[in-house]
Amino acid sequence: MSENIKIIKDATCTFCGCVCDDMELHVDVEEKRIVKAKKACVLGKAWFLEHTIEDAPAAMIDGKEVSIEEAIEEAAQTLVKAKFPITYGLSDTTSEAQREAVAITDYIKGNIDTTTSVCHGPSGLAFQGIGESTSTLGEVKNRADLVIYWGGNPAESHPRHFGRYAVTPKGMFTPGGKKDRTIVLVDVRKTKSSPVADILIKPKLGKDFEVLWALRALVKGKKLADNIEEITGVPLETLEDLAERMKNCKFGVLFFGMGLTMTRGRHFNSGALLALATDLNEFTHFVAKPVRGHGNVTGADNVVSWQTGYPFGVNFSRGYPRFNPGEFTTVDTLANGHADAALIVASDPASNFPKKAIDHLKSIPVVALDTKRTETTKDAHVAFKTSTYGINTTGTVYRMDDVPITLRPAFESPFPDDESILTGIKKRVQELMIAKHQATGASGEAKVAAAFTPL
């Protein structure tokens, strides 16, 4: 370690959706690495301390080092040539970069989708069907006296969620911290989160929907069948007790994770939970919040929504945005063999998608941007190594409760950031699309250019 240590206060960790913005980073300026990350959890520490500047090419075509300009040209040509180009990822980059990705997809009449479709996508569908009774995490901290976690393990996936927002912090109306709150955890398995719970409920596997529906019935004063425990694995008294607590708390919150959205029932499960929160507002104040995974996945939903009107699974092939999960979501566009080129930003579908989708991804030209070498960048036709948001790059990130936060980077990286690469691709794609339209007989350069005004 050198003597030259710079301290960055109130830096932001973008590893998970908690987006903790109270980090104190100690940066070894000469060695270009973070040597201490005060207040970071175990995941945050790994995020900061493992971040070193690797000696690797910034751009490659088919595994061979090229200049960034050459790679941008090849990326643009690849995307413009394709008949069904897809854009995917975006949850681990800034909202400024996300905006550029939407613009590129719009120009090339492609298909845009984010990692939301394989995380809380089903909740996104449920929001549209049921609505969302929501709040910020600040409100939860200051007001919530009943906190329910359903189908998630924050102790391992969002370690500071308990300490910073929902379990132990002392709030305006919860001055006693945990003493002023009842914590309920609903999960089919015991996890590292279990010790935090005052009440632990273990439904039978795949019976979350039934438990939620039973609670809705109880909240509405209906009688449940005698065999409810046999069906759900949860005793009637436990359900009755929870329903009473929910109706009688001052401010209740249901945090839900992928234990609901990724399992049988998917959007029906999230929908049942959102409906329960809505029902409870007849009695008290109750909100429901998805616990979001990647640092800026919430930003991806926001940016794609405000640019296209829909949160994910959007297709521009007709020149205007259309939303159709199951058709325009990436697992589907790949597994069905529709996609013929892909722009993958800050995501690694080649290591976590279903096998059939991965097989198709490996058969088409991929343009990939990532900070590290992954299964996706390894086989990409054009691969960019980019700097890391929040550590090397400033920009905007949305916390899981839709609160935007500006990043304070720790040190500079020799690699370009996602936004500048995507801006370069966007400009070139725009030129190529104008040329393509002129060649196909569209009249008047000005007229064509007008049709391609940047977003």
Residues that bind another protein (CB under 8 A): 15-16, 42-43, 45-47, 50-51, 113, 117-118, 121-122, 125, 153, 155-157, 159, 188-190, 192, 202, 205-206, 258-259, 261-264, 266-267, 293, 312-313, 325-326, 329-332, 334-335, 348, 351-358, 372-375, 378
For another protein, give the closer residue by CB, 174 or 330.
330
Residue nearest to ligand SF4 (CB): 44
φ, ψ of residue 204 in degrees (nearest 5)? -65, 155
Q: Which partner from the list another protein, ligand SF4, none does 125 bind, CB cut-off 5 to 8 Å by kind?
A: another protein
Which pair of structure tokens corresponds to residue 56?
A: 């690797």
Q: Which is nearer to another protein, 68 or 188 (CB)?
A: 188
CB 164 → ligand SF4: shortest distance, Å?
Answer: 7
Cα-based distances in Å from 277 to 46, 126, 130, 146, 249: 36, 13, 10, 12, 13
Q: How far is the CB of 351 from ligand SF4 (least distance, A)?
A: 20
Site string for ligand SF4, 11-30 (x = CB under 6 A): --x-xx-xxx----------
Q: Indicate the residue among 298 and 388 with the shorter CB distance to another protein.
A: 388
Sign of the alpha-carbon torsion through 63, 419, 386, 399:
negative
At 255, phi and psi to the nearest 5?
-95, 125
Residue 159 in contact with ligand SF4, rule: CB under 6 A: yes
Q: Which residue's CB is nearer to another protein, number 316 or number 323?
A: 323
CA dist., res. 225 & res. 247, Å (int): 21
Q: Is 42:49 a contact under the CB 8 Å cutoff?
A: no
Cβ proximity to another protein, 98 vs 333, nearer residue: 333
Residue 342 touches which member of another protein, ligand SF4, none, C-beta under 5-8 Å by kind: none
215 binds, among another protein, ligand SF4, none (CB under 5 to 8 A by kind): none
Q: Nearest-CA neighbor of 384 among 337, 332, 420? A: 420
Instruction: State the minimum distance, in angstroms, from the CB of residue 408 to ligand SF4.
Output: 14
- What span, in angstroms and rounded, lies between the C-alpha atoms of 229 and 50? 47
Mind giving me the DSSP string for 257-273?
-HHHHSSTTHHHHHHHH
Rank residues 243 and 274 by Cβ distance to another protein and give the closer one: 274
CA 134, CA 122: separation in Å to the nearest integer? 17
Please give the Cα distance from 22 to 395 (Å, whole number). 16
Distance between CA atoms of residues 340 and 250, nearest Å: 53
Dist CA 110 CA 344 (whole Å): 13
Q: Rounded distance, CA 163 to CA 292, Å?
A: 17
> What is the closest distance, in whole angstroms, from the C-beta atom of residue 314 to another protein in the complex?
11
Alpha-carbon 394 to chain mean position: 18
Give whichever of 46 and 435 is closer to ligand SF4, judged by the CB atom: 46
| # residues contacting ligand SF4 (CB under 6 A) | 13
State which residue, 122 or 159, has the beta carbon closest to ligand SF4.
159
Q: Is 158 in the site for ligand SF4 (CB under 6 A)?
A: yes
Is 160 among the residues that bind ligand SF4 (CB under 6 A)?
yes
Question: 159 vs 203, which CB is nearer to ligand SF4?
Answer: 159
The pattern of x and - marking residues 26 through 55 that bind ligand SF4 according to CB under 6 A reads --------------xx-xx-----------
Residue 20 contact partner, candidates another protein, ligand SF4, none, CB within 5 to 8 A by sort of partner: ligand SF4
Q: Quick one: 307 or 371, whose CB is closer to another protein?
A: 371
CB of 445 to another protein, least distance (A): 39
Q: How many Å apart are CA 9 and CA 408, to the nearest integer?
A: 9
CB of 403 to another protein, least distance (A): 23
Q: Rounded to whole angstroms, how far apart are CA atoms 408 and 389?
A: 9
Minimum distance, C-beta of residue 175 to another protein, in the bound complex (Å): 31
**Quick one: how far is CA 269 from the chain centroid?**
19
Collapsing DSSP states into helix, strand and coil, what is residue 404? strand
Given a contact cutoff of 8 angstroms between Cβ atoms, the answer to whether 328 and 113 are in contact is yes
If phi over 0 gives left and psi between -120 and 50 gives alpha, with beta otherwise, what is residue 206?
left
Q: Which residues form the interface with ligand SF4 (CB under 6 A)? A: 13, 15-16, 18-20, 40-41, 43-44, 158-160
